[in-house]
Amino acid sequence: MNNTIVLGVIGADCHAVGNKILDHAFSKAGFNVVNIGVLSSQEEFIDAAVETDAKAILVSSLYGHGEIDCKGLKDKCIEAGLENVILYAGGNLVVGKQDFEKVEKRFKDMGFDRVYAPGTSPAESISDLKDDLNFNIGTMAV
């Protein structure tokens, strides 16, 4: 079964540590992680997903500009034939201490399937992704 996902840090953000932790956690959970690393543009996420036939794109943003960087990503995915690819976003997506529910709504309106607040454990998003992709533990190499 194809369980390829694209992982990366979007925009002019070079926070590499969280990216490495997510890579490790999702790989250990049985996903085939294609990690495009830091400083990644929307186009790089999309190109990587097209070429690797990925089922989900996981976008991280730590520096507060996530909202600007993520705008239009879903539209570009549709344009590139990736309308069924699942989109997640997480990290410190916006500046300051904003009400997360509002932030979540804004990201969902932009076309993201799930949005994670600062400090979320990787285990939570791993479990969600397995649900969203209808993967059960038994069929995945752990």
Partner 1 sequence: MNAVLLIDFGSTYTKLTAVDIDNDEILAVASSETTVKTNIMDGFYKAFEVIKAKTCDLDIEYVEKLACSSAAGGLKMISIGLVQSLTSEAAKRAALGAGSKVYRTYSHELSAREISKIIEEKPDIILLAGGTDGGNKDCIIKNAEALSGKIGDIPVVVSGNKNAVDDIENIFEENGIYFKITDNVMPRLNILNVEPAREAIRTVFMEKIIEAKGLGEAEKEIDNIMMTTPTAVLKAVNLLADGTNEEEGIGEILVVDIGGATTDVHSISKGEPTKSGVVFKGLQEPYAKRTVEGDLGMRESASSLYESAGFVKMKKFMANESIDIKEKCEYLSRNIGKIPKTEEEKEVDETICTTAVGLAIERHIGRVATEYSPMGVIYSQEGKDLSETGYVLGTGGAIVKSRNPVKILKSGMESIKDPKYLKPSKPEYLLDKDYILSAMGLLSESYPNKALKILKKHVVNIG
Q: Measuring CA to CA, which residue among 136, 130, 94 is closest to residue 5? A: 130
Q: Measuring CA to CA, which residue among 17, 109, 85, 26 is closest to residue 34? A: 26
Contact flag: residue 48 with partner 1 (CB under 8 A):
yes
Span of 19-27, 44-52, 104-112, 115-123 interacting with partner 1 by CB under 8 A: 44-52
132-141 burial code (b ≥16 CB/10 A, e <16): ebebeeeeee
Q: What does 28-47 look like in DSSP terms, one character per residue? A: HTT-EEEEEEEEE-HHHHHH
Examine the residue annotation and report whether 13 is marked as an active-site residue of this protein: yes
Examine the residue annotation and report whether 24 is marked as an active-site residue of this protein: no
Among 18, 30, 47, 133, binds partner 1 (CB under 8 A): 47
* Size, binding site for partner 1 by CB under 8 A: 24
The catalytic residues are 13, 15
Binding site for partner 1 (CB under 8 A): 2, 4, 11-14, 32, 34, 36-39, 43-44, 47-48, 50-54, 63-65
